[in-house]
Amino acid sequence: MAIRNLRYEGDEILKKKSREVDVIDEKIQTLIDDMIETMHKYNGVGLAAVQVGVLKRVVVIDLYDDNGPIVLINPVIIKTKGEQEVDEGCLSFPNKFAKVVRPEEVVAEFTNREGKRIRVKAKELLAQAIMHETDHLNGELFVDKIVPGTLEYVEPEK
């Protein structure tokens, strides 16, 4: 396992659409392990493969509950319900936070790392994370969706 280099604001790759994963091989498993380790190092809730420079439809999410990290390969949003205004940040935009309107509930379908297709109904933070990371796979960034006037920069602690 290894910490991967994050891609940051202004990097063109973040605007590109990621490609479907055809086969879950050793390379994809290594990518997943590295992504989880990288996300944890930077205290992130989610990470998309594009954020470490890999244009594959792979996402990892960890709500730091008893369930451990969730791996979503080729995720698809089936439906959304309601809306919530949430505070959001992104590992590719360090120390920047803003309000974004996201669905309250999301039904998503994805393949897990064992190759099984799963459907999940997510609420609140998990719904928000799934939407945020799926946006990344489509080349969409949270800073393009913020509620006007809510973007703030928080000085990192020394």
- Catalytic residues, by residue number, are 133
Q: Pick from 56, 46, 44: which is nearest to 16 by CA?
A: 56
Q: In sequence order, what are the residues at sequence separation of 6 or more whose Cβ sits closer than 8 angstroms to the Cβ of residue 109?
A: 75, 76, 78, 117, 118, 119, 120
Rounded CA-CA distance 67/23 in Å is: 25
Q: Are 52 and 4 spatial neighbours (Cβ–Cβ below 8 Å)?
A: yes
Rounded CA-CA distance 105/122 in Å is: 6
Rounded CA-CA distance 104/128 in Å is: 8
Percent helix, strand and coil across the chain, each to the nearest 5: 25, 35, 40
